[in-house]
Structure 1
């Protein structure tokens, strides 16, 4: 639809929406809201009135508004609240779906009449897939003629109730019938419908369990592929290339790279069998064994490889990709069928003796790999539960082939190599900056020249192992000690914005580390895409903060 009227008359619409209270407009369903806040999605947020009211009740809110003029006014009105604004729209909600959130409340107020009838069933399905178990979907319907500028389509309670039945949603008992317009427009009336999702609703977890426990395995390859995909969805969501209703497309090279990082310690360091008997492994070619003297950290995403090392690593990734497509991707099938769960295709590429960076562009040269969207979302949301289940099954499988080793050896071999909690490079950068100028604590704005300083993992290492440059912040010792293992609060991080961006521009942008900084951020932060700007990285940080809070239920630090 066209949002011209909302942009041209943004201030008028803003004033009109703000003239009513959240309670006036939504009194019909507020009794179902409960007193336990969670994560809310406000679709067509307009002036931010409803988002602001929910945030005031303790909710974290993602506000979707496609009209630029209205969105900017709403952002300004809610800048001191936990409201995150996104330029997106129904029926697709493509950017929101990229984040893999599950919402406890989705509010679609005064929006449904803008959606063409042919798009409505798909829009409803997408909204349903964004609900958390037990989550509530509220839709208000506007009845009445248009105003000459905006296009309105007829809406129907019966249509929505039919969509809800097909998606196994429970209708909540709200007052039936239309009520008068609060703006006193005689020709306009409103209806409200609310639905609740009784369970997970996607079928993702039974499918994952089937692959882990029930699917036939002649090697650990199926578990290796599953763990690889969980690792990418959880730790490198920015690598996703494209998303549709059905599939998430990622670089095939990323799958091969993470595969090597998984199998490197198992095969090269611990010599643990990954299949019965003494046969070799398709991916463990001469180039894989040349990586013996390296650690998986030497070729993680974002790293720059020299001209001598690059061809070896790239060939090892290519061999891993070939094995993955021929074996686990081909033989991991849907329950009760021979139809593969995953799809992938390799691309012809030339490997030269030249330096290379293991970034999104390079990893895409190997081809593409497709994961069903609902499984990708489950990998992202439930990684902290799925991965231990994979590891336990993997240990049982290795133990059934070779009884010589203790459980401890198996666990060590399967420990994901994150490296140690290393802040030395950034500490050196801070010292260099202090020699010629001022460096501020991002949390307190204190000059660190006269203070004992620390390097703080903005998102705590113990909860989300990430040593990327964007995640390491100059901090006073007092602030870092107070923050400890907590997640910075939303408003605190927003208040730190100018100091965080200033630190990046001061110490990283324009230096030899700039390419590493953006490559790491591009892989590990959501919604960044190809926008290689410090503002884009910071926006990605805000979204990742919300993901970590929602998925891991982390405690928040509100500052000194």
Structure 2
């Protein structure tokens, strides 16, 4: 069986629904849904979500909520509400679409996808990935979706279908509604509109230039402008994790643009990548190691679990890279202890190039 962290579904459900529920005009999400949260018919987790939205209104909204989840900094006074929202969202996913998917064909609940048990205990992204359990599907279904899924139910197809459905029920709810398809598409795209922020890394690397700083991909000393490259392109993943931000020269960055570094290039650059990661570990400690686990799935789960899933029936595949802390200080191990993370990056690179068809970059 193929499995992925169920927390990933919960995470993205929250971010796609947030701008819809936060909109000043009520936008129904099912036929007959009412804005009356006390006695009316409403989508399963809207009540829980409204508590969170009300709290973050005027405090940064969706972006601040996302930041707090990623950085494990949800304020104490809203933590119970966020935890309740996460648990309700998990229940909604597993008891509704997951349960009924495929029933009309196989006449059996959970016939195509099922979940393992899990109890979310921490209102954070890491808590979701760690505690929410996993969702499991047959290898045959996974392989079909892997090969042709983007052609049938690709991201844009889902977004456009969602927008069309919402506009249709909005008109039924309020004849004359001026909610347009374009309005809904713009709202849904807010879920992946993550600001590109590399300021802290740029300041650190500029301080390091005095001792000589090499371009990760070419190996040459950076003499001109220092550029910060998203190893896995920002346009693809919108990922500002420390491990994904690498120092490069301006000419190399101009050549790479939004292409994927090949596994061979990553392998040849591994020593320089480890040096930079060691610098991050020394300056940012647990933040670096947490993001390494969240982004490259090392320490818990298969090396390229985020991109490919694991063929274990539930549970995690144990890795050989662990985050170690002693007396509050992150222990920085030998460079070779980062090898599993390098291997994970290479596997994700191969998947994106070979299976998904993204353009490659090599020197």
Global fold match (TM > 0.5): yes
- TM-score between both structures, scaled by the size of structure 1: 0.49
Structure 1 residue 323: Cα displacement: 1.6
Greater per-residue strand proportion:
1
Residue 321 of structure 1, aligned match among 90, 110, 113: 90
CA contact (8 A) 1:285 1:319 kept: no
Greater relative contact order (Cα < 8 A, sep 6+)? 2
Alpha carbons 1:302, 1:519 under 8 Å: kept: no
Deviation at 1:367, TM superposition (A): 3.8
Q: How many residues align?
A: 306
Bigger-Rg structure (1/2): 1
Q: 2:166 aligns with which of 392, 398, 415?
A: 398
Residues 1:427 and 2:202 are matched in the alignment:
yes
C-alpha separation in 1, matches of 2:203 and 2:49: 35
SS at match of 1:538: helix
Q: Are 1:299 and 1:305, in contact at CA under 8 Å, matched by a contact in 2?
A: no
Q: Report the alpha carbon displacement of residue 383 of structure 1 after superposing the two structures with TM.
A: 5.5
1:342 maps to 2:113:
yes
Structure 2 CA distance for partners of 1:393 and 1:455, relative to 1, 3 Å: same
Q: Do the aligned partners of 2:201 and 2:242 also contact (CA within 8 Å) in 1?
A: yes
TM-score normalised by length of structure 2: 0.73
Q: Secondary structure at the match of 2:20?
A: helix
| Map of 2:326 onto structure 1 | none
TM-aligned CA deviation for residue 335 of structure 1: 4.2
Task: Name the structure 1 match of 2:27.
Answer: 272
Once the two structures are TM-superposed, the CA of residue 330 in structure 1 deviates from its matched residue by: 2.0
Q: Map 1:72-87 onto structure 2 (within 5 A).
A: none
**Aligned twin of 1:262:** 16
Q: Which has the higher helix share?
A: 2
Unpaired runs of at least 5, structure 1 = 1-246
1:261-300 matched pairs, under 5 angstroms: 261-269=15-23, 271-277=26-32, 278=34, 279-286=41-48, 288-292=50-54, 293=56, 294-295=61-62, 298-299=65-66
Unaligned runs of 5+ in 2: 35-40, 172-176, 307-316, 322-336
Rounded Cα–Cα distance in structure 1 between residues aligned with 2:47 and 2:320: 37
Determine the structure 1 residue equivalent to 2:347.
Answer: 543
Is residue 331 from structure 1 mapped to residue 100 from structure 2 by the alignment? yes
- Report the RMSD for the aligned CA atoms in angstroms: 2.9
Determine helix, strand or coil for the equivalent of 2:234: coil
Give 1:407's aligned residue: 181
Residues 520 and 254 (structure 1 numbering): CA distance in 2 closer, same or farther, change over 3 Å?
A: same
Offset at residue 350 of structure 1 (A): 5.4
Query: 2:324: which partner in 1?
Result: none
Match among 141, 145, 150 for residue 375 of structure 1: 141
Name the residue aligned to 1:521. 295
Q: Find the aligned partners of 1:335 and 1:443 in 2 and give their Cα distance.
A: 52
Partner of 1:457: 230
Moved segments of 4+, more than 6 Å: none
